[in-house]
Structure 1
Amino acid sequence: MTTGPETTTRPPMDAPALVTHADLVADRRRARRRSKRARGGLVTFLSFLFSLALIAVIGAALLFVWGQRQFEGPGPLQQEATYLVPKGGGLDTIAAGLARKGIVSDPRIFELGVRYEKAGSELKAGEYAFAPGASMRSVMETLRSGNSILHSVTIPEGWTVQQIYARLAGDETLVGDMPATAPEGTLLPETYKFTRGMSRAELVAQMTAAQSKLVSEIWAGRQSDLPVKDIGQFVTLASIVEKETGVDAERPHVASVFVNRLRQGMRLQSDPTIIYGIWGGAGKPAGEPIRQSHIAGETPYNTYVIRGLPPGPIANPGRAALEAVAHPLDTRDLYFVADGTGGHAFAATLSEHNTNVRKYREIERRNGTAQAAEPTGTGASLE
């Protein structure tokens, strides 16, 4: 029996391959190995990051400790030094300036230390002194305290505005130009304290405000029957009293003479008004006597010519002169003249006054000063 060629039956080409249990087990093993490798790489990466963070924390801590020691430790200053903190200066500007002066060793550490202490907005303008070896912390605390170096300028009582401005213009601890000339009598004579760098205009404003406050207070408590019309005349009379005597105890007595003369309609006949009318705020030149031509000179301030008070103050009166005019001594005196001892001799009559003038001129002759000075007081230049 003859058979045909052997025929092999094959599955279709697109039929899925049979997956055995062994294959599934192998796949699971391979997946576990891949997962383990991935987890291992992540752990390694995370460990690296942690190590970096740890190193950074340790480094920052060491840096903080080092910076703190620098901030707290002795500074580089070898001898006492000063530094002027400008108004409106920022922390970076202050730190750089301190470093330039050799007061702090590193401006960045100082700035960071101040910021860490939250003191950046508490540093005050002014001039400060620092001891040798001052730490950055002590420098910061000094600037926070506001205890800056104070300079002073003394304005004597009876100075004119021109004289006061000349002194302020020549003071090198002040800055800026002089302001417009203040009216005579509006600046309070006293000692003013200020920090280096204060402007001249600021100080003049302070002097003006102080005088205005003082005059207003004394005017409000004045004797009610004074022969002055307003606060301006009050200051004018006080300026004349101020120029007539430098003896505190005498001022109320001098004021009483001028008050009595005003009440009786007499001319005040005050030598300082002659001087102001001729030479103004500059004052009489040294060695220049008051001449008869000066006495007769028609200026608005010459109280030997005009009746009543001059048109304004002839100087800046202080508290004592203002108080003296507000509360003059109760006397009948109408005259006074220098007595040769720094004070004055007072008189109620012209005869008594002339006697006092002769006594003074005799003292001048004995001392050899007759050409160097004139007696001062009411009618002193006329005998």
Structure 2
Amino acid sequence: MSSARKKSSRLGTLALLFLILLVVVAGALGVVAYRHYAGFADAPIDGIEAGDTLVVEPGDSLPKVLRRLDAMGIASRGFEWRALAKQMGAAGRIQVGEYALEPGMTPRDLLVAMRDGKVVSYRFTIVEGWNIRDLRAALAKASPLKQEGAQLDDAALMRALGLGAQHPEGRFLPETYLYTRNDSDLDVLKRAAAAMEKALAEAWSGRDQGLPLDTPYQLLTLASIVEKETGIAEERPQIAGVFVRRLKVPMRLETDPTVIYGMGSAYSGNIRRRDLDTDTPYNTYTRDGLPPTPIAMPGRDALQATAHPAPGDALFFVAVGDGSGRHVFTRTYAEHQSAVAEYLKRYRAQRTPQATTQ
């Protein structure tokens, strides 16, 4: 073999060895890079502290979100984030909202949350027996709920909710509602109003036959009185039964919660004889039948109790007076008077200081 051919062969061999070396080095670098990338994707994000959240605003891109993380002091290497987001199908699909940042969370966890819209939820509970003033006061304090209806009067609020000229009392179902940072008080009220409409329709459609109630609104109104009269769940059908029988007799309802509602801000915690004698549209001691509107927000149980009152012949009830919140149910006025006397006896005994021995 000539020297030229030998030289050419050696060069070819060197080139092949160099190529093999390049492949090996590239492979090794690829393995290192992959391990680094995989380690980044599933390693805890540096800088997160308990209670941290990330807010994604409308129009935010991934780079902008990463800059926000940087501004929060949370490490965010852009290249790895973008590569991971592309691999996961999260690039361009980040959803608006507030996201919880928890210690130990990985970049993969956060991208999954933003891709799937797993935003932070807050809770707002409407309590059984609240009136519209109670509800609006609680909404005004709910954070971070946007306050869009806080400055509206009741009539304007109902129009803003698409409920026209309806009276607001009793129209919102007591339940716990979830909301996000971008929701407003009107959003919560719309859901509560829709829930009440559904619950009332169910109670009305399944009601017992022969009730002295002509409309679902009358059922709602009576249920609100039942709600205010007792906090004992098993007593609600009994209370409803008393009122239904009174309406059938007919006999005035004579229920203190309606009087208190009619007094409005004048009520200071005590109800007196003169309050029972002072006529208002809500005074069921001076007026026949139901009051013109509900007096509170009845829960599902009160609606169902009113739709299915307990049978019996009791026309009266009074608190036991032992602090349990329970009532004594009686058939005649004489029995009722006796029960009232027992209540007053227990009430006075509880308020009388015990004599001290010397």
Q: CA deviation at 1:155?
A: 2.0
Q: Which residue of 1 aligns with 2:4?
A: none
3-state SS in 1 of match to 2:128: coil
Cα shift readout 1:282-304 (whole Å, capped 9, x = no counterpart): 6833xx32122211111111100
- Matched residue, 1:328: 309
Alignment partners' CA distance in 2, 1:321 and 1:81: 39
Listed as ranges, the matches of 1:165-314 within 5 Å are: 165-178=136-149, 180=152, 181=154, 182=158, 183-279=168-264, 284-285=267-268, 288-314=269-295
8 A Cα contact 1:77 1:134, kept in partner: no
Task: Choose from 348, 358, 366 the match for 2:331.
Answer: 348
**2:7 corresponds to:** none
Find the structure with the greater CA-based Rg.
Answer: 1
Distance 1:81 1:102, change over 3 A: farther
CA contact under 8 A between 2:223 and 2:298: conserved in structure 1?
yes
Q: 1: CA distance between counterparts of 2:227 and 2:72?
A: 47
- Once residues 255 and 198 of structure 2 are traced to their aligned partners in structure 1, the CA distance between those partners, rounded to angstroms, is 28
CA deviation string 1:351-376 (max 9, x = no partner): 0000011110111110118xxxxxxx
1:360 aligns with 2:331: no
User: Of residues 91, 94, 99 in structure 2, which corresponds to 1:123?
Assistant: 94
TM-superposition CA deviations, 1:246-299 (whole Å, max 9, x none) = 1000000000000000001111001000011111xx6833xx321222111111
2:18 aligns with: none
Q: Which residue in the other structure is 1:88 paired with?
A: 58
What percentage of residue pairs aligned between the two structures are identical? 38
d(CA) in 2 for partners of 1:165 and 1:192?
A: 15
Unaligned runs of 5+ in 1: 1-53, 370-383
| 1:283–1:156 CA distance, 2 compared to 1 (3 A) | farther
- Is the 1:295–1:304 contact (alpha carbons within 8 Å) kept by the matching residues of 2? yes
Q: Residue deviations 1:76-100, cap 9 Å, x none?
A: 2253353243463433443333332
Q: 1:46-95: per-residue Cα shift (whole Å, max 9, x none)? A: xxxxxxxx9xxx8xx89986777655554322533532434634334433
Which residue identity does 2:316 align to in structure 1? Y
Say if 1:350 and 1:73 are closer, same or farther in 2 by CA, change over 3 A: closer
Deviations 1:17-56 (A, max 9, x none): xxxxxxxxxxxxxxxxxxxxxxxxxxxxxxxxxxxxx9xx
Q: Is 178-187 or 105-114 further displaced after alignment? A: 105-114
The DSSP-based 3-state class of the residue aligned with 1:256 is helix
Which secondary structure does the structure 2 equivalent of 1:129 belong to? strand
* Structure 2 residue matching 1:120: 3-state secondary structure: coil
Across the aligned residues of Structure 1 and Structure 2, the Cα RMSD in angstroms comes to: 2.7
- Measure, in 2, the Cα distance between the counterparts of 1:194 and 1:306: 42
Going from structure 1 to structure 2, the CA distance change for 1:86 and 1:205 (only over 3 Å counts) comes to: farther
Q: Determine helix, strand or coil for the equivalent of 2:298.
A: coil
Distance 1:110 1:213 in 2: 46
How many matched pairs?
Answer: 308
Assess if the C-alpha contact under 8 Å between 1:84 and 1:125 holds in 2: no
Distance 1:256 1:234 in 2: 13
| In structure 2, distance between residues paired with 1:337 and 1:244 | 10
Question: Could you state the TM-score of these two structures normalised by the residue count of structure 2?
Answer: 0.77
Distance 1:133 1:362, change over 3 A: closer
Read off the aligned partner of 2:332 and give its amino acid letter.
Answer: T
Provide the secondary structure at the position in 2 that maps to 1:148.
coil
